[in-house]
Amino acid sequence: MALPLTQIEGVPQRDGLICGTAYFSGTGPSDRHCGSCKHYGYYRLSRFNKSYRTMGCHMFKKLTGKHGPRLKKWTASCKYYEEKVNAKHGAPEGASVGG
């Protein structure tokens, strides 16, 4: 039988711990995911000195100095979440443009 543990308000729970995220998953905006974050995906060099795109978190790389594993785009956002901006229209991705 598991002992009841104290949950401290404002302290993330272990459930939000996903390897490769910059912070606990689920601590960002509730309706947002890594796939729409500007830190999701970046270019890195392979050991053969070729550039390729990895779908890891660039903020994780900035904070730890290491490349993290690729993340699923529907991973719940963390506190470092920043809306990805559509370069063509300057609008957040997913937002309707024009009309």
Q: What residues make contact with ligand SF4 under the rule CB under 6 A?
A: 21-22, 28, 34, 37, 39-40, 57, 59, 77-78, 80-81
Residue number with CB closer to ligand SF4 (1 or 11)? 11
Tell the smallest beta-carbon distance from residue 35 to ligand SF4 (Å). 8
Residue 44 sits at φ, ψ, to 5 deg, of: -140, 165
Residue number with CB closer to ligand SF4 (12 or 57)? 57
Residue number with CB closer to ligand SF4 (36 or 98)? 36
Element (H, E) at 57: strand 51-57
Tell the smallest beta-carbon distance from residue 91 to ligand SF4 (Å). 18
SS3 51: strand
Residue number with CB closer to ligand SF4 (15 or 50)? 15
